[in-house]
Structure 1
């Protein structure tokens, strides 16, 4: 099965083409450019390196969030457009799960995305039978609550992944000796996204497939603060 996989939910952009487990092309970019400008050219470049056309692709795999609101929307929009217009299967994979795939297979893995103000997007994963299983669902949380939630595990069994310098400081206050992969050593990789996608369900309704944000945007938060109902007859998007 030929898989085109890409992730723009984080600062790095990553694209890969994988055929039955063999990586035909893999591109990672940490350049300070807008993902909306670079994603499609990088997809074209990866296909060219693979000596394939987009018509040869069987499955499109995308990191569906959480992460940068704009970044997640870019990847999901491109994935939905390609899947719908070309009639290809589509799979969405948690962006945190993609980060967890970088971790030690013998550890309990805690992938993170810094959400500012001592908060993070986080999940807890562990390898079982060569597959990543979710022990604690992805969620938006304060670091204090997350670290409290992790007290049931032995710290020597934990590995934090994609921790910024600030999150590293917060973690080490509680776990001075715990294993931590910082952001520069735990870049998301689209070839691992492709592998994960093989064990995820295919999206049944491409039209209704949406990113996983895990928290409101600032605009939505302000809108609801003004008295609008979150679950009323008119949604924030419809109103705007």
Structure 2
């Protein structure tokens, strides 16, 4: 199976083409440009490096959030467009699950994204039979609540992933012996995204596939404040 995978939910951009576990091409970029400018050229370059056309791809995989609102929207929009136009299966993978793929096999993995003001996007994962299993759902949460939620776990079995210095300081106060991987050492990797997507269930309705933000944007707050309602037929994301 040939998989085109890409992630723009974090600061770096990552694109990969993987066939049956073998990496054919991999592009990572942290240049000071917007992902909207670099994503499509990086996809084209990756396909060229793999000596494939986009029509040769069997599956498209995208990190669907949480993360940068703009970054997540860019990747999901490109993924939906390609999947719909080419009639290819589309798989969305949690951006936190992708970060958890950097963790060890024998620990409870706590991927993090700093959401500022001592808040984070976080979840808890474990490796079971070489598969990442979500044992505490991804959520937007205060660090105080997150660290309290983890108190039933053995501290020596906790591994925090993608922690900024601020989050690291908060974790160390509560769990001084927990393993922590900094945000500089746990960048999203599209090759791992492709691996996660290989056995994942494709989305059933590409048109209704939307990013996972885990909290409302300011624009959504304003939209709902004007009397709009998400009634199951139309949501803010779909309308915009």
Residue 129 (structure 2) aligns with: 129
Per the alignment, in what secondary structure is the counterpart of residue 184 of structure 2?
helix
Q: Say if 2:165 is the partner of 1:165.
A: yes
SS in 2 for 1:176: coil
The equivalences for 1:205-224 within 5 A come to 205-224=205-224
How much is the aligned-residue C-alpha RMSD, in angstroms? 1.7
**Distance in 1 of aligned mates of 2:147 and 2:238:** 38
Task: Give the distance between the partners of 1:143 and 1:10, measured in 2 at CA.
Answer: 20
The correspondence of residues 227-238 of structure 1 with structure 2, limited to 5 A, is 228=227, 230-231=229-230, 236=236
Measured in 2, the distance between the counterparts of 1:235 and 1:71 equals 19
Give 1:198's aligned residue: 198
Cα distance, 1:231 vs. partner? 4.1
How far 1:175 sits from its partner (Å)? 1.0
Report Cα offsets for 1:8-28 as digits up to 9, x if no partner: 001110000000110011111
> CA 1:236–1:100 in structure 2 vs 1: closer, same or farther (change >3 Å)?
closer
How far is 1:126 from its partner? Answer: 0.4
CA distance in 1, matches of 2:4, 2:234: 36
Q: Where does residue 28 of structure 1 map in the other structure?
A: 28
User: Which string of whole-angstrom CA distances, capped at 9 and with x for unpartnered residues, describes residues 177-231 of structure 1?
Assistant: 211111110000000000000121111111011010110001222444x463644
Aligned position for 2:4: 4
Q: TM-score, normalised by structure 2?
A: 0.95
Match of 1:93 in 2: 93
Runs of 5+ consecutive residues of structure 1 not aligned to the other structure: none
Name the residue aligned to 2:60: 60
For residue 184 of structure 1, give the secondary structure of its aligned residue in structure 2. Answer: coil
**SS across alignment from 1:16:** strand
1:177 aligned partner: 177
Cα distance in structure 1, aligned partners of 2:123 and 2:113 = 10
Cα distance in structure 2, aligned partners of 1:138 and 1:221: 21
Residue of structure 2 equivalent to 1:114: 114
The answer to whether the Cα contact below 8 Å between 2:210 and 2:237 also exists between their aligned partners in 1 is no
SS at match of 1:211: coil
Partners of 2:39 and 2:161 lie apart in 1 by: 25
Secondary structure of 2:188 counterpart? coil
SS at match of 1:11: coil
How many residues matched? 239
- Structure 1 residue 235, shift from structure 2 partner: 5.3
Moved more, 25-34 or 138-147: 25-34
Structure 2 segments unaligned to the other structure (5+ residues): none
- Kept in 1, the 8 Å contact 2:83–2:90? The answer is yes
